[in-house]
Chain A
Amino acid sequence: MHVGTGASIAFWIMAVVAVVSASGVILLKDIFRAALLLVVSFLSIAGIFVTLNADFIAAVQVLIYAGAISILLIFAILLTRDVQEGNPSNRLKIPGMFMGAVLLTALIVVFVNTEWRLSTEAPLDSTTAALADLLFSNKFVLAFEIASVLLLAAMIGAVVLARGEDE
């Protein structure tokens, strides 16, 4: 895939912002600020999707993650009011760090040693129409319907769980 200089500059800025804010999410003591940094990380990942010519998924990323999921998370943080306790880590801090490092090394070794069969085709200029055709074709329409049923079930489940039977 050919990518211009401008796009790769944008990619590196976004990548650095994503990694820095993701580390902030994990390491910050103040969980409200951690949630805000998670939003920054979501937005920069949307920017990375744009540099990869995936415009539809970038818009969906901003809409669902930055607009809905992070709002839900902040709501949960405010409703559970453990903010004053800060963000303590448990006994697994050192093993967790070790596991993370091991996983990172393994992933890097795997993808560096893999022979990628890169496609020479130019990516689609606009993925939206092609995605819609594919999503509602015979291949994926059943999965699409199942996903909507899943969302409905999750919604009902969440309402039942959050209300409880004692009311």
Chain B
Amino acid sequence: MPVDRLATGCQPLGFWDGMGLWEQWGINFFPRLGDTMCRAMGGATPGGIPDWLIFAILGLAGAFAVVNVAMLGVPYVILLERKLLGRFQHRVGPNRVGFFGLLQPMADGIKLMTKEDITPRVADKLVFSLAPLVFVVPVLLMFAPLPWAPHAVLADLDVGILYIVAVTSAAEIGVFMGGWSSNNKFSLFGAMRVVALVVSYEIPLVLAIVGVVMLTGSLNLAAIVEGQRFVPNLLWQPLGFIVFMIAVSAELNRAPFDLLEADSELVSGFHTEYSGMKWGVIQIGEYAAIIGFSGIIATLFLSGWKGPAPMPGYLWFVLKMGMIISGFIWVRATIPRLRVDQIMNLGWKFLLPLALINIFVTAGEILAYPDGLPVWLIPVNFAFAAIVVAVAARLLGIQGQPRQVVPAPPVFETMASS
């Protein structure tokens, strides 16, 4: 987004139905605060202060707010995960600190911060210290274009969803840095596995988004929410939703794709050597990514801030995010970890064809009904998705029969893919 376009004080800016930047903030984050500030500063051109400085200050304030929402969400997602996992395993979960264990994340945070921070003597110290930051910053950048409510968006990017895919792909560099600089073979193996996994699953991830983008005709996340007029995209895109969910849980290194810390094989993957708050930062990055990707799923497939009952937009949004996060935890508690070659097979032979089929079918539907898809297509879509998934799973099952194991060539041994 060009910087100048935003830096015009409290004049209506033309985008967002004549809503100015000030009003956007005022209405949704701090009730009427924007209006008051704007009037106090003397209207459209606040005297003496250059536009870009106002933009920078407002942008930093907004970024601070959004990052803190994400950061405060992380401990409670961790708590939710521990509680739910406990229930799934017929335990109670943490319940000692505070009511129902509500203060448990705080206790964990204090524990992490007071732990000794060990850097291995043979590590590449600079890269080792930078790796957690490089891992967590792309995840926080992901929150910028997420629309929390109508007009409540930090950066209303026209390339919104493309930006998110691009930014999240940069987090793998942090994984590589951590794995390499630890100077430990388990860390390096973990990093290489994870990067091979994430690179493979990024392709179906992007292709699954294409269906939604074709339905809406825009990459802008707010426009995608607006485009889901009566029903969420999930009903038009069941196949895309399945592919996207699986690809996202691989992207997040969640079970059943948690090669990142396949404890039985790799100690704990690329962050084996990390301890103390550096490990804590990596953990924050992982859980913030879960929150961010749930927000993206809610935006793309579950119509974001909209809902059937009159409730504030951000409440709907957070509710949908919570549902998706609980779904991820449910999957983690249910499905055992896949083997590396099984994961690669699933990505290339199952998800990729499914995503391509989804694009073709969506294109055909849009071509046949350019003025909006008819309602009877919804059950047809679901039936079609079920048939395609069943057939593809059957084919994958035949492919996955045990066969003679060929020893891997030496160069690929480190990638551990068959």
**A residues near B, CB below 8 A?**
2-7, 9-10, 30, 32-33, 36, 39, 43, 50-51, 53, 55-56, 58-60, 62-63, 66-68, 70-71, 74-75, 78-79, 125-126, 128, 167
A71 adjacent to B195 (CB under 8 Å): yes
A128 adjacent to B159 (CB under 8 Å): yes
A66 adjacent to B169 (CB under 8 Å): yes
Which residue of chain B lies nearest to A30 when distances are taken between CB atoms in the complex?
B124
Which residue of chain B lies nearest to A163 when distances are taken between CB atoms in the complex?
B409
Q: Which of A7, A36, A60 contacts B3 (CB 8 A)?
A: A7
Tell me, in angstroms, the Cα distance from A9 to B158 when the chains sit together. Answer: 23
Q: Which of B5, B50, B165, B167 contacts A5 (CB 8 A)?
A: B50
Q: List 5 A-B contacts (CB under 8 A).
A: A4-B3, A30-B124, A43-B170, A62-B167, A62-B169
CB distance from A152 to the nearest CB of B (A): 13
Interface residues on B, range: 35 or more
State whether the Cβ of B1 lies closer than 8 Å to any Cβ in chain A. yes
Q: Which residues of B contact A4 (CB under 8 A)?
A: 3-4, 7, 51-52
Q: Which residues of A contact B169 (CB under 8 A)?
A: 62-63, 66-68
B4 adjacent to A3 (CB under 8 Å): yes
Tell me, in angstroms, the Cα distance from A167 to B409 when the chains sit together. Answer: 9
**B residues near A, CB below 8 A?**
1-5, 7, 50-53, 55-56, 124, 127, 157-159, 162-163, 165-167, 169-170, 172-173, 176-177, 180, 188, 192, 195, 199, 202, 219, 409, 411, 414
Tell me, in angstroms, the Cα distance from A58 to B159 when the chains sit together. Answer: 10
A6 adjacent to B4 (CB under 8 Å): yes
B1 adjacent to A50 (CB under 8 Å): yes
Q: Which residues of B contact A125 (CB under 8 A)?
A: 2, 5, 158
Given contacts A59-B162, A78-B180, A125-B2, contact A71 B172 (CB under 8 A): yes
Q: Which of B3, B51, B180, B411 contacts A32 (CB 8 A)?
A: B180
Q: Which residues of B contact A6 (CB under 8 A)?
A: 3-4, 7, 50-53, 55-56
Which residue of chain B lies nearest to A66 when distances are taken between CB atoms in the complex?
B170
A56 adjacent to B159 (CB under 8 Å): yes
Given contacts A32-B180, A63-B162, A125-B2, contact A70 B173 (CB under 8 A): yes
Q: Which of B2, B56, B124, B411 contacts A53 (CB 8 A)?
A: B2
Which residue of chain A lies nearest to B164 when distances are taken between CB atoms in the complex?
A59
CB distance from A17 to the nearest CB of B (A): 15
CB distance from B44 to the nearest CB of A (A): 16
Q: Which residues of B contact A70 (CB under 8 A)?
A: 173
Q: Which of A33, A55, A59, A67 contacts B172 (CB 8 A)?
A: A67
Which residue of chain B lies nearest to A33 when distances are taken between CB atoms in the complex?
B127
B158 adjacent to A62 (CB under 8 Å): no
Q: Which of A2, A62, A74 contacts B176 (CB 8 A)?
A: A74
- 14 further A-B pairs in the complex, CB-CB below 8 A; given A4-B4, A39-B170, A66-B173: A3-B4, A5-B51, A55-B1, A56-B159, A62-B166, A62-B169, A67-B170, A75-B192, A75-B195, A78-B188, A78-B414, A79-B414, A125-B2, A125-B5
Which residue of chain A lies nearest to B56 when distances are taken between CB atoms in the complex?
A6
A78 adjacent to B172 (CB under 8 Å): no
Tell me, in angstroms, the Cα distance from A32 to B128 when the chains sit together. Answer: 12
Tell me, in angstroms, the Cα distance from A128 to B161 when the chains sit together. Answer: 12
Q: Which residues of B contact A78 (CB under 8 A)?
A: 180, 188, 192, 414
Q: Which residues of A contact B177 (CB under 8 A)?
A: 36
Q: Which of B1, B2, B173, B411 contacts A71 (CB 8 A)?
A: B173
B176 adjacent to A71 (CB under 8 Å): yes
Q: Which of A7, A9, A10, A36 contacts B173 (CB 8 A)?
A: A36
Q: Which residues of A contact B51 (CB under 8 A)?
A: 4-6
Which residue of chain B lies nearest to A80 when distances are taken between CB atoms in the complex?
B411
B157 adjacent to A55 (CB under 8 Å): yes
Q: Which residues of A contact B4 (CB under 8 A)?
A: 2-4, 6-7
Tell me, in angstroms, the Cα distance from A5 to B50 when the chains sit together. Answer: 9
Tell me, in angstroms, the Cα distance from A33 to B181 when the chains sit together. Answer: 10
Tell me, in angstroms, the Cα distance from A125 to B285 when the chains sit together. Answer: 33
B180 adjacent to A67 (CB under 8 Å): no
B2 adjacent to A9 (CB under 8 Å): no
Tell me, in angstroms, the Cα distance from A10 to B370 when the chains sit together. Answer: 43
Q: Which residues of A contact B167 (CB under 8 A)?
A: 62
Given contacts A32-B180, A125-B5, contact A59 B166 (CB under 8 A): yes
B3 adjacent to A10 (CB under 8 Å): yes
Which residue of chain A lies nearest to B173 when distances are taken between CB atoms in the complex?
A39
A128 adjacent to B409 (CB under 8 Å): no
Tell me, in angstroms, the Cα distance from A59 to B166 when the chains sit together. Answer: 6
Tell me, in angstroms, the Cα distance from A51 to B166 when the chains sit together. Answer: 18
Tell me, in angstroms, the Cα distance from A108 to B163 when the chains sit together. Answer: 34
A71 adjacent to B3 (CB under 8 Å): no
Q: Which residues of B contact A63 (CB under 8 A)?
A: 162, 165-166, 169
